[in-house]
Chains A and B, each alone.
Chain A
């Protein structure tokens, strides 16, 4: 089954404690991205990756890092989380040609 898998699905952490949200896709897509969803703001792109070792900033990259060492994996790293990073995070991979996004199930992060 084609899918995008994120972990953890839920996380409560404290300010400054580094965390990583993993993302893996099994569709052999080259393009992957991270979004955050906040009430009233819709979805905003954090980072994207066009292929292995190729990443770039989206609209709201501050406070986040990413890496793309393998095609299937695209982890999101919060080096020093702050309360304003409390949000619902989605990883997505993109079908080439149509540009259609396939989303993971989401990771709800709370930073105290």
Chain B
């Protein structure tokens, strides 16, 4: 059974600081996604990582994937208040081209950035 664990689950940090959210998973997969959710809102796609070593950056966020370590990181650089949200990673271990997409989500990391 595929398990996806995020660390930490809660993170409170100050503006201007750097931090990393970790996403570990238990079964081999080459596909991992990061989503953002604001309170009371839907999930918004942030990054799609489709191979070992993939690195994507958007503004102050950077995501990477190490399939050998079964680990993805979401790095926040010089945090600003607008980045406060819950961040989810999701791991896919059966590709859609084979029919059944099996996407398993982590528990989410609630990030609060204080002025």
Which residues of A come within 8 Å of B, CB atoms?
Answer: 31, 33, 40-45, 48, 50, 56, 90, 94, 96-106
Number of A-B pairs whose CB atoms are under 8 Å?
59
Taking A99-B31, A100-B48 as contacts, is the C-beta distance between A50 and B100 under 8 angstroms? yes
Q: By DSSP majority rule, is chain A's interface helix, strand, loop, or mixed?
A: strand
List of A residues within 8 angstroms of B41 by Cβ = 105-106
Looking at B45, B95, B106, the one whose CB has the most chain A CB atoms below 10 A away is B45
The size of the chain B interface, using a CB distance under 8 A, is 25
Which residues of B come within 8 Å of A, CB atoms?
Answer: 31, 33, 35, 41-45, 48, 50, 88, 90, 92, 95-97, 99-103, 105-108
B88 and A100 form a contact (CB under 8 A): no
List of B residues within 8 angstroms of A44 by Cβ = 105
A99 and B33 form a contact (CB under 8 A): yes
Q: Which residue of B lies closest to A41 (CB)?
A: B107
List of A residues within 8 angstroms of B102 by Cβ = 45
User: Of A31, A40, A50, A101, which is within 8 A of B107 by CB?
Assistant: A40
